[in-house]
Amino acid sequence: MRHLLYGLLLVPLMLVGCAKEPLGSARGVVVSDPKTEVDFGQVFVGTEASKLVTLSNTGRSQVQVRASDFPSGYDMRPSELSLAPGGKAEVKIAFFPLREERFDGQLKISLSNAKNELVTLDLKGEGVKRVVEVVEVLDFGTIKLGDTKTLPLDLTNLIEKSLNLDLSITGGSDRTAFRVDDGAVELPGGATRAIDVSFTPANRGPHAASLLLRPCASCQDVRVQLVGTGGITELRASPPTVTMGTVTPGESKSSWFAIQNIGDFPATVTSMTLVVDPVRDPANEGEAPEEFKLAATGEFEVGVSATVEVEVSFKAAPQAEPRKFAKIQVMGPDGLYFEVPVDGKSGGIEVEADPGTVDFGRQPKNFAAKKTFMIRNIGESVALDLYPPSEEANYTVAAVDGTSAPWRLDSHNANSMAFEVTFKGSEIQEYPAEMDFPIYVSGAMSAEQPFVTVHLMANVVELPACDLDISPSSLRFGAVTVNRGVQLPIEITNQGTTECLVWNFDLDTDNRAFAAPGLPNGSQVLAPGEKITVGIRYQPTRITGVIDRTNLYFNHSNVETPRAVVQISGLATSFCLSADPNPVAFGPVPAVPQSLQVFKPFVVRNCGTDAVRISRVSMASGYSQRFTARSDETLPVTIASNGTKSFLASYKPLDLVRDVGKVEVWMQGVDEPFLVETQGQGTDDACGVLCDWPTAICPAAGQSVTVNTQIVLSGGAYSPGGHPTTCSWTVASAPVGSSARPVGGGCTPTFTPDLVGNYVFELMVTDQLGNRGACQHSLTATPWGGLWVETFWDAAGDIDLHVLNEDLGDRHQDASWFRNPSDCYFGNCYSGNRPNPLWDNDINMTASLDRDDIPGTGPENTRINSPSLTHPYAVGIHNWGNSRNPVNVTTNIYCGGALAYNTTTVFTATRQFEVAVSIQYNGSTCIVTRDGMRWVH
């Protein structure tokens, strides 16, 4: 079992002003209190503690604040910020000891445009080893509500000194479900002792809390995650009611319902009994109607998630009778589980309206609202005629199929017909009504059932104008594979403070590639904060090369208000892409007091037969811009059939809101992108493992090193949840022409810059859950003193750099080049070799070819530590065997540590040789003369 010690000590430290800038000063003043020291005490190695520091600008000008010097093991987040006059800002000082020792040093905070140019804080802290060993998680399993389970927790003292551990339980409302009897435990050196921890669930579902063990007042807490689940015993019927319909007189019919165990434990059914239904059959006070029978009534057990089928039968009477009603009581050891209403009818007609009441709800004035209902004969199948009801004021009715009365119900229309009723009211009031449809059988009104009644209700209201948020304001499906369907939501939210009336939802039917299953029918009143979700489905059936478009319409506020319109678009494509996961869900991420940027990978798969070329990745406008996305490889990339490519999304919330974004994956030759949704929620809560994002730890300050000198990228990783993490360094940006990459895996690879300039690295850390964190680190590569010549080119192949001592050869003579000792080139000047004899009898005045590249694009470089002041040097570029013409070769010349000249040579054929420049060194810089003479060698 893996053991883990983790926790964060977050102690706010407020630094306030102790002096004011004199009135009238034009510069800012940043002050702190305490003035000198921040002490972290003891922190476990491999974990992180932090303290919040408030910086205050008491002056009258804006000040730029930057952490300019960090002691080892510390970081300031953010490292740069601006302070307005009179403003304050919190920064987090983080301490992350990587070894067992003291970490004392001084943090220097540089100030621009401030009277005081520097704020310094002495940082103190000590990295200590683990002192207590304990399991990471104590799992109680599933416990019945109200029951208690107690488990032992072994604590082991890893040091020789006796410890007195303070115990406490944290974790929001769930903490009350867990209990530890002791508030403190004395643990002798090297000893192991068990304590009892109890769990009593108060509600169903998972519970989580943390048991904190504090070895000393200044020590970090040792954290044990406590988890358990509250369980119940619960059965339900499916379907919840059983109706036999109408059964031919003298015949029998059987139906079934299922007893489903939706609880957490096996459940025992002790008996099932048929009883009367006093609600639906109040006249029957005796036993259940004899027409109903149960096939089995004995005791049995229903396992967790199991289903048991129960048969119930109905024996119709010899002649037509009214419908009969009963209930089935399902009993358990502790009483009634549930009741299942049953009904059945012996012969005869039975005409009903569905729904029996057509409720228009609240409607605006003078709007013709429409609703449909069915009238069906659920009794014996005989031909019936329905005659029109007497018209009610404000209501009109017509058959949906447009036929005129009388309307025939028979086997040709499944004994049913659909009707549409229209309501229109001009006064603010309720409009109750009834419509009675006369029923005729064989030309005469039915004596068994003369009428079928439909109840009507509407309420005309006048509500304030709506303040709606429609998200997205336009719905874009992007590129969708032909004959494959995608459904996306449109959310309509009442963001006002009063109720809001919406109605008359409609989708353009001109483009049949779009549909709106479950489109809201009639009017709806949205309470403040309430929303309606409309699902739009796009399923193109053919490729047209033109973007498909439609619109969603609806009314709101009143009939005079223009209809709301949501534009919808999509493009059919033959390509087939899928993303995993989709959506990319970040969950809750800290937004305050300090926003955290987190990362999640996703994979795009080519599920088609043709290769797909991805040209770019971007974030769609109209959605949250708190997300970013990029490809793991340099674009463009090609995804073969059934192949995948990896991408990385990031999220950095700024507010306590839910953010939704869309990643656009653009395919070459397709006018719309494939879309991947991103979701995240900014939070300021202590959300436990949901916010346990790993943290990448980069060196505190940028580095500077002479080019071609190896350095170590000293990174680290921290997981608040204690999950194993991995490190990966990549080059985010580098001088044009550089091909250098980190060497070795893990958190501390080496790197050797191959060109002069600025490098930016990204450290990406990943935990076992796939969550990621990142930080960046900068490096400046400076040239050697003296003469430094570097060259690189844009097409892979063999290009060679030559430097000629013009005291030993004429640069315009081919015979001077490719010759020892006048020319320093790959033949005599590489891999530790030098021209022989040495130039000017001094190795420091002799050229050295440090880098030579044959198959790639360079770079190559030649240096002279102490160039001669008495004669010039020439630079030659040779296309030895690079056939990818034209080839553009860039050459940079540095003298005395500064760029003196830059030139580009263009080769159109192999074997071409060009004398690029002549250089005269004068001790601190150079005079560079462009030459350009060319021949074939």
Residue 843 CB partners (closer than 8 Å, separation 6+): 834
Measured CA to CA, the distance from residue 630 to residue 663 in angstroms comes to: 9
Flag whether 596 is in a domain: yes
Flag whether 5 is in a domain: no
Q: Are residues 438 and 382 in the same domain?
A: yes
Q: Are 754 and 739 in contact (CB under 8 A)?
A: yes
Output the pLDDT for position 19: 38
Between vectors from CA 621 to CA 618 and to CA 624, what angle results, nearest 5°? 95
Output the pLDDT for position 1: 31
Q: Are residues 275 and 250 in the same domain?
A: yes
- The gap from C-alpha 450 to its chain's centroid, in whole angstroms, comes to 62
- End position of a domain, from candidates 109, 128, 147: 128
Choose among 169, 155, 156: nearest CA to 212: 169
Q: Are residues 122 and 139 in the same domain?
A: no
Flag whether 3 is in a domain: no
Residue 269 CB partners (closer than 8 Å, separation 6+): 235, 259, 299, 300, 301, 302, 308, 330, 331, 332, 337
Flag whether 295 is in a domain: yes
Measured CA to CA, the distance from residue 397 to residue 390 in angstroms comes to: 10
Dig out the tokens for 905 from the structure.
């040579």
Task: Read off the CATH number of the domain in which 264 is found.
Answer: 2.60.40.2310
Residues of the chain with confidence (pLDDT) below 70? 1-27, 32-35, 46, 217-220, 686-691
Q: Are 697 and 715 in contact (CB under 8 A)?
A: yes
Q: Are 348 and 249 in contact (CB under 8 A)?
A: no
Handedness of CA 152, 153, 157, 162 (dihedral sign): negative
CA distances to 399, 435, 436, 501, 604 from 390, rounded to whole Å, are 15, 7, 7, 31, 63
Bridge partners for 676 per DSSP: 663
Flag whether 477 is in a domain: yes
Beta strands in 641-724 (DSSP E): 644-651, 658-667, 674-683, 695-697, 703-706, 711-712, 716-718
Output the pLDDT for position 32: 66
Q: How many domains does the chain have?
A: 8
Task: Read off the CATH number of the domain in which 124 is found.
Answer: 2.60.40.10
Q: Are residues 454 and 367 in the same domain?
A: yes
Q: Are residues 51 and 64 in the same domain?
A: yes
Flag whether 2 is in a domain: no
Output the pLDDT for position 885: 87
Output the pLDDT for position 238: 95
Q: Are residues 15 and 119 in the same domain?
A: yes
φ, ψ for residue 172 (rounded to 5)?
70, -150
Flag whether 37 is in a domain: yes
Q: Are 916 and 904 in contact (CB under 8 A)?
A: no
Q: Are residues 188 and 296 in the same domain?
A: no
Handedness of CA 510, 514, 517, 520 (dihedral sign): negative
Domain of 117, in residue numbers: 10-128
Q: Are residues 436 and 403 in the same domain?
A: yes
- End position of a domain, from candidates 317, 346, 375: 346
How many Cβ atoms sit within 10 Å of the Cβ of residue 660? 16
Residue 443 CB partners (closer than 8 Å, separation 6+): none
Q: Which residues of 639-655 are buried (b: 16+ CB within 10 A; e: fewer)?
A: beeeeebebbbbbbbee
Flag whether 824 is in a domain: yes
Measured CA to CA, the distance from residue 83 to residue 316 in angstroms comes to: 87
CA-only gyration radius of the chain, Å: 40
Q: Are residues 206 and 269 in the same domain?
A: no
Q: Are residues 806 and 932 in the same domain?
A: yes
- End position of a domain, from candidates 408, 441, 460: 460
CA distances to 384, 741, 829 from 710, rounded to whole Å, are 95, 11, 21
Q: Are residues 34 and 110 in the same domain?
A: yes
Output the pLDDT for position 915: 97
Q: Which residues of 478-498 are buried (b: 16+ CB within 10 A; e: fewer)?
A: bbbbbeeeeebebebbbebee
Output the pLDDT for position 351: 93
Q: Are residues 794 and 901 in the same domain?
A: yes
How many Cβ atoms sit within 10 Å of the Cβ of residue 509? 10
